[in-house]
Amino acid sequence: MRQELESFFGALRFFTRLPVPAWVGHSDAQLNRSARYFPAVGLVVGLIGALVWLVASLFWPKTIAILLALGATILVTGAFHEDGLADMTDGFGGGWDKERILEIMKDSRVGSFGVIVLVLTLLGRFMALVELPNTWVFMALLGAHAVSRFCATALLFVMDYVREDASSKSKPLATRISPRALDVAAAIALLPCLLLPFWPMLLGLALAGLVTFLLARFFMRWIGGYTGDCLGAVQQAAELAFYLGLLARLPG
């Protein structure tokens, strides 16, 4: 049990700015074991956003409450995944081969591609949450953050890490996770979704899965695997896709 708690808190420390108990150690092996708990980190982040929305909606209009909720999730993660999305977009937008793509992604500066996609993604998340029924918003935030982090975790199961430099902050995650760890991550991710209406939830999962599949194929084609920035981009894209799936209206 202690080892499992260490793995969870290790994931929480890596992906958020939240404090963890002092007795939690730190090692590459521990962080690799923590992959099964990435969706659980999403639950924590989503819960914080949902609680902020719930409280803020008592005092302000829905648009303001949603904006504050999104700001809370970004604050608690330090824009970790947003940064990955921007770097990934700059890399693939400005690079013409694997070496150049990886070089651009390593650059800490944000280019025009990254800014444009980041703005559109943030705006998309905001507008989608505003359009959701009020009774869905709380669980939608929990579900989207958990499912999107499972989508990123899935890449650790099917793809290889492509950077060779040991200095990368995502290097400890380079080992492929086991099927059992993936199953645990999937169970955690699906848990909050069960409290959403069935068909919209199913569409949300399907769209998040489709976006993840398409991005994985894109990464394989151009660089032969993933980087930490690719994982962040998948999380952001899958989160937005989940919201859009909840809102989708099938023809007929």
pLDDT tens-digit readout, 110-128: 889 999 999 999 999 999 9
- In whole angstroms, give the CA distance from residue 170 to residue 11: 12
Whole-angstrom Cα distance, residue 239 to residue 215?
13
The reported pLDDT for the residue numbered 34 is 86
Domain boundaries, the chain: 39-245
What lies within 8 Å, CB to CB, of 10 at 6+ separation is 20, 24, 25, 26, 30, 31, 33, 34
Residue 161 β-bridge partners? 226
Question: What percent of the chain shows pLDDT beyond 90?
Answer: 77
**Confidence check: pLDDT of 171 > 60:** no
pLDDT at 147 over 70: yes
Q: What pLDDT does residue 2 have?
A: 73
Say what the pLDDT of residue 5 is: 85
Q: At what angle do helices 228-247 and 198-223 cross, to 10 degrees?
A: 150
